[in-house]
C-alpha cells in the first residue's frame, strides 16, 4: 500500500507490539509527532531531557524483555541521550533508538544541528544506520527489531531524515519474525566440563545478567545445588540467582583487592552469562593462573576475551545449563553427590552466621543521626509490600541494601549498568509502565539523582506511582572512597589527608525534596531515624509519585 514512510514506521511499531514511544521531540521529528495522533494505540511518553527518555526505554525493555522504542532530536538531542545508550549497550538492553536527521537534500550544507548521527552511535550499538529512501523504512525497522532481539541482545540506532519520513512509497509492512535462539553448546565441550566439575571440591560459580536475560535462573540454581557450590554475582547485576538461596555467597566487588584473594582460593570457576571481569581500576589481575575457568555464555565475544579459559561453552545459557545438569548426573558418583550436599550445608550455616553478624553491626549504629544506610534498608525491607520492584542507583549504599533485602525472582530488582549516572529516575518509570500491577520503589543517591532529575516531571505528568527514596549523603562519596582506598595507597601516600575538592555538597546541600515539589511530586524529608518508617508508609500509600529525601551518614570522610 502506498503511504508516507512516517505512517509506515508507526504501523510497523504497532505490528511489532510497541505500546509506548519514549522521547523528547524537535523539528526533525515532526513527521512522527504529527502521525502519532492517527495511531492512538501508540502512547507518547514525554521526557524533558533526552537521557531520561532513553533511561525510560531501557527500564521498559529490561522489565518486559522485548525491544522498546525511543525517538530523539537530531545531533544535539541525541548527544544528550548517548550516556544512557552507553548503559544500554553495556547491559545488553534490546532497545531501538531513533533520531530525526536534517533534510538529506541540504546535508551538504552542514545545516544547524546536523551531524554524522550514525557515527555518534556506532560505538554503542549492535547496528547503526541512516535511512535514505522511504521504501527502506520498513526494511530498516524489521532489521532493527531482529538485531536488537537476537542474543546477545542490545540497542540499535536508526537515523530518520525529515524528508524521507514525508515521502510516499509502496511499503511492505511485514514485521520481523520471532527470534528462535536456543542453540545448544557443543556436546563434547559439555562432557568435558561435567567431567572437570563432577568431583571438584573447591569450586565457585559466578553468574551475570545474561542468565536472567535468557530465562535461566532456575537452571543456574539446579546446577549450583547439584555441585554444592557457592554462587557470586557482580555488584550491580540483576537477579541472576535468588539472593536468599543458602548457597548465594554475595556480590563481587571487582575493584576490591580482597576479591582477588577470594577468587584465588578456588581451583575451578564456573562463569555463566557474565563478563570476566569488566574492571574499572588498574588493579592487579583478579584471576591468576591457579584457577581454571569454565565459561558458558551466549556471547561468543566474552568467552576468553580477557582471561584464558579451560573450556568455553558457547550457546544458549538456559539449554546449556539443562544439558550440563544432565551430564553432571551421569558423571557424578554417589560420593560426589554426598560431598556436594555437605558443602551446601556448610555454605548455609556460614551464610546464616554472616547475616547475624551484619544485623548485629547494624544495631550498634541504629540510633546514629544522620542515620546509617543499614538502618534505612532494614526498615524499608519491613515496610515495602512483598511484591515491590526495587530499582537502585545508590552506588555506595549498594552493599547494605543487598544485605538488608532479598530478591528471589528475576524482575524484582534492577540496577544501573554501564556506569553512566542518571539512569534510575527514568529507568524506574519505564519499569512501572511495564509492570503497572506491582509497586516500584527507586533508591538513588543525591549525586546520581541530579543527572536525571528531570524524570520527576514525567512521573508527575503521566501520574506514574513510583516512590523515590533519596540516599542523601551530601557528597560524591564514591569518589572519596576511591581517593582513600585506591589512589593514595597506589601512590604510597598513606598519611595524606584529602580536602575532597569537588566532592562535597555539605556547605550547600541539595534539597531533593524541594526539587521534587517543583516538578509536582509530593515529597518528604527525613532527618531523624525514628521518622523514617511512618514517612515511608505514608509515601507508599499515596498511589501516585512521591519522593522521600533521607539524610544518611556520609561515612568517615
Question: What pLDDT, on the 0 to 100 scale, is given for residue 437?
Answer: 97
In 284-296, which positions are buried (b, 16+ CB within 10 angstroms) versus exposed (e)?
eebbeeebbbbbb
Percent of the chain's residues with pLDDT above 70: 100
Percent of the chain with pLDDT over 90: 89
Asked whether the beta carbons of 556 and 483 are under 8 A apart, the reply is no
Torsion of CA 144, 146, 148, 153, to 10 degrees: -160
Q: Given this model, what pLDDT does residue 375 score?
A: 97
- Side-chain half-sphere CA neighbours of 462 within 13 A: 21
**Letter string b/e over residues 220-256, b meaning 16 or more CB atoms within 10 A of that residue's CB:** bbbbbbbbbbbbbbbbbbbbbbbbebbbbbbbbebbb
CB atoms under 10 Å from CB of 1, counted, come to 10
Cell, residue 270? 564456573
The domain defined by 187-349 carries CATH number 1.10.10.10: no
Give the whole-angstrom CA distance, residue 422 versus residue 444. Answer: 9
106 Cβ neighbours under 8 A, 6+ residues apart: none
Report CA torsion sign: 77, 58, 208, 210. Answer: negative
Q: How many residues does the chain have?
A: 557
What's residue 362's pLDDT?
Answer: 93
CB of 89 closer than 8 Å to CB of 148:
no
pLDDT of residue 435: 98
Domain boundaries, given as residue ranges, for the chain: 2-170, 187-349, 365-551
CA dist 82 and 77 (Å) reads 9
Sheet holding 440-445, edge to edge: 413-415, 389-393, 440-445, 466-472, 546-551, 522-526
**Quick check: 256 pLDDT over 80?**
no
> pLDDT-based confidence at 258, cuts 50/70/90?
confident
What's the pLDDT score for residue 174?
96
Beta bridge partners of 415: 392
- Sequence-separated (6 or more) residues with CB below 8 Å from residue 152: 92, 210, 298, 299, 301
- Neighbouring residues of 360: CB distance < 8 A, sequence distance ≥ 6: none
Mean pLDDT (whole number) for 175-202: 95
CA pair distance 421, 439, nearest whole angstrom: 23
Q: Average pLDDT in the 517-545 region?
A: 97
Residue 260 has pLDDT above 90, yes or no: no
**For residue 384, which phi and psi values (nearest 5 degrees)?**
-65, 140
Q: What is the mean pLDDT of residues 316-326?
A: 98
Q: What is the pLDDT of residue 286?
A: 78
Query: What pLDDT, on a 0 to 100 scale, did the predictor assign at position 420?
Result: 95
Residue 463 confidence (pLDDT) above 90:
yes
pLDDT of residue 312: 97
Q: Residue 557: pLDDT above 90?
A: no
Q: Is the pLDDT of residue 279 over 90?
A: no
DSSP letter for each residue of 174-238: PPPPPP---PPPPHHHHHHHHHHHHT-SSEEEEE-HHHHHTT-HHHHHHHHHHHT--EEEETT--
Q: Do domains 2-170 and 365-551 have the same CATH topology?
A: yes
Cα distance between residue 447 and residue 424, in whole Å: 12
Rounded CA separation 473/19 (Å): 38
Task: Please write the tens of the pLDDT for every residue from 2-46.
Answer: 899 999 999 999 999 999 999 999 999 999 999 999 999 999 999
Q: Are 230 and 223 in contact (CB under 8 A)?
A: no
Distances (CA, A) of 260 to 59, 72, 279, 399: 32, 42, 12, 18
Query: In the predicted model, is pLDDT for residue 93 greater than 80?
Result: yes
With 80 as the cut, is the pLDDT of residue 284 above it?
no
Query: What pLDDT sits at residue 1?
Result: 73
Cell of 518: 517543583
Helix (H) or strand (E) holding 507: none
369-399 residue pLDDT tens:
999 999 999 999 999 999 999 999 999 999 9
Distance CA 249, CA 362 (A): 20
> What class has domain 2-170?
alpha beta
Q: Please tell me the predicted confidence (pLDDT) of residue 235.
A: 80
Host H or E run for residue 469 = strand 466-472
Question: Which residue, 410, 405, 419, 407, is CA-closest to 469?
Answer: 405
| Cα separation, 340 vs 198, whole angstroms | 9
Is the Cβ–Cβ distance between 155 and 96 less than 8 Å?
yes
C-alpha cell at 380: 524499608
pLDDT at 255 over 90: no
Range 365-551 has CATH code 3.40.50.970: yes
Q: What is the pLDDT of residues 57-92, one digit of tens each?
A: 999 999 999 999 999 999 999 999 999 999 999 999
Confidence band of 263 (pLDDT split at 50, 70, 90): confident
Mean pLDDT over each residue of the chain, to the nearest integer: 95
The model's pTM is 0.96
Neighbouring C-beta atoms of residue 191, cutoff 10 Å: 16
Amino acid at each position: 500500500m502506498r503511504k508516507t514512510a512516517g505512517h509506515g514506521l508507526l504501523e510497523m511499531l504497532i505490528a511489532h507490539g510497541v505500546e509506548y514511544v519514549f522521547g523528547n521531540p524537535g523539528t526533525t521529528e515532526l513527521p512522527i509527532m504529527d502521525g502519532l495522533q492517527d495511531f492512538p494505540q501508540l502512547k507518547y511518553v514525554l521526557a524533558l531531557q533526552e537521557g531520561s527518555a532513553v533511561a525510560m526505554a531501557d527500564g521498559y525493555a529490561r522489565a518486559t524483555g522485548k525491544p522498546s522504542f525511543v525517538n530523539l532530536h537530531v545531533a544535539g538531542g541525541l548527544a544528550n541521550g548517548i550516556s544512557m545508550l552507553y548503559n544500554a549497550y553495556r547491559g545488553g538492553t534490546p532497545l531501538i533508538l531513533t533520531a530525526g536527521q536534517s533534510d538529506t537534500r541540504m546535508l551538504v550544507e552542514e545545516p544547524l544541528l546536523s551531524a554524522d548521527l550514525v557515527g555518534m552511535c556506532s560505538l554503542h550499538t549492535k547496528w547503526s544506520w541512516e535511512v535514505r529512501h522511504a521504501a527502506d523504512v520498513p526494511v530498516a525497522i524489521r532489521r532493527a527489531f531482529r538485531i536488537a532481539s537476537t542474543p546477545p541482545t542490545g540497542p540499535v540506532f536508526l537515523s530518520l531524515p525529515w524528508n524521507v519520513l514525508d515521502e510516499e512509497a509502496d511499503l511492505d509492512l511485514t514485521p520481523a519474525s520471532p527470534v528462535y535462539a536456543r542453540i545448544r553448546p557443543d556436546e563434547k565441550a559439555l562432557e568435558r566440563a561435567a567431567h572437570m566439575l563432577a568431583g571438584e571440591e573447591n569450586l565457585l560459580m559466578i553468574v551475570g545478567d545474561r542468565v536472567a536475560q535468557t530465562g535461566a535462573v532456575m537452571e543456574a540454581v539446579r546446577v549450583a545445588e547439584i555441585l554444592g557450590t557457592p554462587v557470586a554475582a557482580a555488584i550491580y547485576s540483576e537477579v541472576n540467582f535468588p539472593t536468599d538461596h543458602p548457597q548465594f555467597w554475595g556480590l563481587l566487588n571487582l575493584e576490591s583487592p580482597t576479591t582477588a584473594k577470594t577468587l584465588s582460593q578456588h581451583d575451578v570457576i564456573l562463569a555463566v552469562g557474565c563478563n570476566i571481569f569488566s574492571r574499572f581500576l588498574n588493579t592487579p589481575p583478579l584471576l591468576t593462573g591457579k584457577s581454571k575457568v569454565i565459561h558458558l555464555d551466549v556471547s561468543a565475544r566474552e568467552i576468553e576475551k580477557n582471561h584464558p579459559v579451560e573450556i568455553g561453552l558457547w550457546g544458549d545459557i538456559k539449554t546449556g545449563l539443562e544439558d550440563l545438569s544432565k551430564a553432571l548426573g551421569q558423571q557424578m558418583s554417589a560420593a560426589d553427590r554426598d560431598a556436594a550436599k555437605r558443602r551446601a550445608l556448610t555454605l548455609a550455616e556460614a551464610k546464616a552466621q554472616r547475616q547475624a553478624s551484619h544485623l548485629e553491626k547494624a544495631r550498634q549504629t541504629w540510633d546514629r543521626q544522620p542515620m546509617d544506610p543499614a538502618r534505612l534498608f532494614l526498615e524499608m525491607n519491613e515496610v515495602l509490600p512483598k511484591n515491590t520492584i526495587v530499582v537502585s542507583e545508590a552506588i555506595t549504599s549498594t552493599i547494605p541494601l543487598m544485605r538488608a533485602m532479598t530478591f528471589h525472582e528475576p524482575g524484582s530488582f534492577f540496577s544501573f549498568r554501564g556506569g553512566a549516572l542518571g539512569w534510575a529516575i527514568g529507568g524506574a518509570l519505564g519499569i512501572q509502565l511495564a509492570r503497572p500491577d506491582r509497586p516500584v520503589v527507586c533508591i538513588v543517591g543525591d549525586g546520581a539523582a541530579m543527572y536525571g532529575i528531570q524524570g520527576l516531571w514525567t512521573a508527575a505528568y503521566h501520574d506514574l506511582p513510583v516512590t523515590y527514596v533519596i540516599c542523601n549523603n551530601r557528597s560524591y562519596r564514591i569518589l572519596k572512597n576511591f581517593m582513600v582506598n585506591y589512589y593514595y595507597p597506589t601512590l604510597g601516600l598513606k598519611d595524606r589527608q584529602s580536602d575532597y575538592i569537588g566532592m562535597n555538597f555539605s556547605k550547600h546541600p541539595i534539597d531533593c525534596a524541594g526539587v521534587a515539589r517543583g516538578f509536582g511530586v509530593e515529597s518528604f524529608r527525613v532527618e531523624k531515624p525514628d521518622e523514617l518508617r511512618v514517612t515511608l508508609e505514608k509515601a507508599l500509600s499515596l498511589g501516585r509519585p512521591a519522593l522521600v529525601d533521607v539524610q544518611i551518614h556520609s561515612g568517615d570522610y
